[in-house]
Structure 1
Amino acid sequence: MKKVFLSFAALAMVLVSCEQDQNDANLDITQEVQVDMSDFTLLVADDDIAGKSANAADKCHSMKNLEYRLQKNPGLQKKMYDIEYQTRKAIAMKNGNGKGKPGGGGGGGTPPPIYTGPVSIPVVVNIIETVDGNVTQAQIDSQIAILNQDFNNNNPRTSNVPSEFAGLVADTDITFTLANVVRKVDTRTSWGTNDAMKLSSQGGIDATDTSNFLNIWVCEIGGGILGYAQFPGGSATTDGVVIGTDFFGETAAGGIYGKGRTATHEVGHWLNLRHIWGDGRCRQDDFVADTPTSDAPNYNCPSYPTVNCQSNDMTMNYMDYVQDDCMYMFSNGQNDRMRALFVPGGAREGLVN
């Protein structure tokens, strides 16, 4: 009997020890995934710091479209907050520091890892044109080729990245394939930025299965606007990217914005990237650790170094506002943000599952 008692006592000590080890492990995991959301915002600075380029092009209306969508859908803010929270948790786990950017205070649980496999995104191009065939197949093919070039670090101008940023250039391993082209003739010359082109009820073209396809609408937006995108978390009905006809693919009509990089910029938004200056002054961030802080967009083709907020701007980043020939990189941190969307439960998981 004494032997049996001693055996049970020993077993109890082992179980208590294992339980303590498990509790310690859970504590470590909880500490690992804590993130700070105190800097998260969906607002643009009150002053119009974006302005326009030298040729009066209003490069991107993604944030203004977001303001419109937030007014229409009160639940959107919470949904985007949750996506951002999961993104920061995933990046914190990948980095192994539990802090993400910025670090401290948040929730527990084990975050999903950053998706590491190749990603292939099928694209449906919805064209609303004033004359049938105005947007040519060559134009469409050139746009798909440019997206593949840029997202796979094959832009020939990337060799111009300054040494300061050379180690940060990302190959996102994301490719795009043309799945379908849908055309409609409409004489409207200004569709605006309130998503009418995405709805057949308003004369546009309804989206194709936005869980599994990237939808791009090509039309006359008007107002000198090059394009805009919907961020992850918005309505499936309007999910996708809109590009002005003159700025889709390679087009002489687009001038300095006629080399297809508007789509690269807008697809970046669609994959959860913010403008590189964070749509605010020096204290407002783009939520990416390896992109320098800036206080406004850059236009045309700025020289290096261009200094703002006491650091050199990454003007050649696709998420700035420079002309097409002068943007030629995503950063590793931006790649992490995009890839966090593809994990199970992520906002774009349907594209890989």
Structure 2
Amino acid sequence: MKKLSVLAAGSLLLLFGCSKSVSDKQTKQEDAVVETNNTTLRSCFSYEVLEENIKADPTIKKRMDEIEKFTQKVLENPSAYKLVNGVMEVPVQVNVLWRTSAENISDAQIQSQIDVLNEDFGATNSDYSLTPALFQGARSGDTKIRFIWTSANTTRKQTSKNSWGTRDAMKKSKQGGIDPTSPATTLNMWVCTIGGGILGYAQFPGGSLATDGVVIDSKYFGRVGTATAPYGLGRTATHEIGHYFNLRHIWGDATCGNDGVSDTPTHNTSNGGCPTYPHYSTCAGNPVEMTMNYMDYTYDACMYMFTAGQASRMQATYAIGGPRASLIP
């Protein structure tokens, strides 16, 4: 495991957007995937998204620098900050933008995504037990984050758009989208056709409340209905909400980079497909890479854990004074 150094605050300032290049359904998806790093990969254009947002609002970088400093203080001395005792329940608003009837996903499909999130963040997912012995000591167990949604917390809007892109148009009624509902106190999720093979993207803490939340393509949302293999088990939302709670990609968005978490191994870069375990890094010490971590790019059927360090980093966002503290009633 890598040693966590005090990171330059600016090194963590990324917004994340991910793109495409257990149940019977999970078993079928596992059967369909190929054990390789070179097929149907997720990929990110996060730096480009960040540049555009900072160009439009240069204060974002300053806010994110301050959030990173605050996060490090909480991680170094958590007893000095009041954290939620027990479980933090996050209200969820789902905004569905649809052109075809298939894109107007059902309440059942939305509920399946909420179920996935509660399993993955609560470590009750059936594949959690697959964690290799090497990493079992680092597993987070329950992150103490839960997601609350009812059909009343859904806004649906028919549109003529074939795709929405990654410039947040889907979050703005003036551009044909749906404005977020109470973003300071509610996690907003937009479900639409993003285009370009993009699975989803998230706004990191520190951005504008007017665009805060995550966007998931309807083909990769939940695990029933339109959910499509190999990203049809709801893990795109798990990954993106990790970013929403201040997690970086596990490879630190750089060759042998640092994700700001002490108990994740150093990765060369992202991993795709379903790598055969053990998959060794060529970084210093040749550690075994944690390819089953939600913050890598592997197929949905092949990612199934957060680490304790990742859980602590997420929990720091809702300590008093944290960027997600307003989610707590």
Tell me by how many angstroms 1:38 deviates. Answer: 2.9
What SS is found at the alignment partner of 1:41?
helix
> Residues 127 and 173 of structure 1: is their aligned pair in 2 closer, same or farther, counting only changes over 3 Å?
same
Q: How does 1:226-305 map to 2 (within 5 A)?
A: 226-251=199-224, 253-282=227-256, 284-305=257-278
Q: Aligned to 2:98, which of 129, 133, 136?
A: 129
- Assess if the C-alpha contact under 8 Å between 2:274 and 2:298 holds in 1: yes
User: d(CA) in 2 for partners of 1:72 and 1:131?
Assistant: 33
Number of equivalences = 298
User: d(CA) in 1 for partners of 2:40 and 2:292?
Assistant: 20
1:148 corresponding residue in structure 2: 118
What SS is found at the alignment partner of 1:175?
strand
1:119 corresponding residue in structure 2: 88
Runs of 5+ consecutive residues of structure 1 not aligned to the other structure:
1-34, 45-49, 97-110
- Assess if the C-alpha contact under 8 Å between 2:9 and 2:69 holds in 1: no
Does residue 204 (structure 1) correspond to residue 180 (structure 2)? The answer is no
What SS is found at the alignment partner of 2:322?
coil
Give the alignment's TM-score, normalised by structure 2. 0.85
- Assess if the C-alpha contact under 8 Å between 2:218 and 2:227 holds in 1: no
Matched AA of 1:315: T
Deviations 1:34-58 (A, max 9, x none): x8343641468xxxxx994755454
> Residues 121 and 253 of structure 1: is their aligned pair in 2 closer, same or farther, counting only changes over 3 Å?
closer
2:145 corresponding residue in structure 1: 174
> Residues 298 and 190 of structure 1: is their aligned pair in 2 closer, same or farther, counting only changes over 3 Å?
same
Which deviates further from its counterpart, 202-211 or 116-125? 116-125
Matched AA of 1:78: K
What SS is found at the alignment partner of 1:146?
helix
- Assess if the C-alpha contact under 8 Å between 1:113 and 1:340 holds in 2: no
**Which structure is larger by alpha-carbon Rg, 1 or 2?**
1
Tell me by how many angstroms 1:131 deviates. Answer: 3.0
Matched AA of 2:328: V
The share of aligned pairs that are identical, in percent, is 47
Deviations 1:107-135 (A, max 9, x none): xxxx5255443100010000001135731
- Assess if the C-alpha contact under 8 Å between 1:116 and 1:339 holds in 2: no
Give the alignment's TM-score, normalised by structure 1. 0.80
What SS is found at the alignment partner of 2:191?
strand
Q: How does 1:38-57 map to 2 (within 5 A)?
A: 38=8, 40-42=10-12, 52=21, 56=40
Q: Aligned to 2:61, which of 51, 74, 77?
A: 77
User: d(CA) in 1 for partners of 2:7 and 2:143?
Assistant: 26
User: d(CA) in 2 for partners of 1:338 and 1:165?
Assistant: 19
Deviations 1:60-80 (A, max 9, x none): 555542232122111111100
1:328 corresponding residue in structure 2: 304
User: d(CA) in 2 for partners of 1:55 and 1:304?
Assistant: 17
1:26 corresponding residue in structure 2: none
What SS is found at the alignment partner of 2:236?
helix
Runs of 5+ consecutive residues of structure 2 not aligned to the other structure:
22-36
- Assess if the C-alpha contact under 8 Å between 1:315 and 1:322 holds in 2: yes
Does residue 345 (structure 1) correspond to residue 321 (structure 2)? The answer is yes
What SS is found at the alignment partner of 2:11?
coil
> Residues 229 and 287 of structure 1: is their aligned pair in 2 closer, same or farther, counting only changes over 3 Å?
same
Matched AA of 2:318: F
What SS is found at the alignment partner of 1:218?
strand
Tell me by how many angstroms 1:187 deviates. Answer: 2.2
Q: Which has the higher contact order (CA 8 A, sep 6+)?
A: 2
Deviations 1:226-246 (A, max 9, x none): 000000010000000000010
> Residues 39 and 78 of structure 1: is their aligned pair in 2 closer, same or farther, counting only changes over 3 Å?
closer
Matched AA of 2:158: V
User: d(CA) in 1 for partners of 2:274 and 2:180?
Assistant: 35
What SS is found at the alignment partner of 1:325?
helix
User: d(CA) in 2 for partners of 1:311 and 1:212?
Assistant: 40
